[in-house]
Amino acid sequence: MDSFNGFDIDGGIYVVRYVNATFENSCVMENTTYTFPSVTSHSLYSLSVIRHNCVTGLYCEPTSLTCVRVKAIEEPCNADFECVTVSRNFPFKLYYFIC
| pLDDT computed for residue 86 by the predictor | 60
Would you say residue 5 has pLDDT above 70?
A: no
Measured between alpha carbons, how far is 18 from 96 in angstroms, rounded to an integer?
Answer: 23
Residues 31-78 have pLDDT tens digits of: 888 888 888 878 888 888 888 899 988 999 999 999 999 888 788 888
Q: Which residue from 70, 85, 67 is spatially nearest to 28, judged by alpha carbons?
A: 67
Q: Mean of the pLDDT values across residues 70-95?
A: 70
Measured between alpha carbons, how far is 93 from 80 in angstroms, rounded to an integer?
Answer: 18
Q: Distance between the two ends of the chain, CA-based, in angstroms?
A: 41
Confidence of residue 2 (pLDDT cuts 50, 70, 90): very low
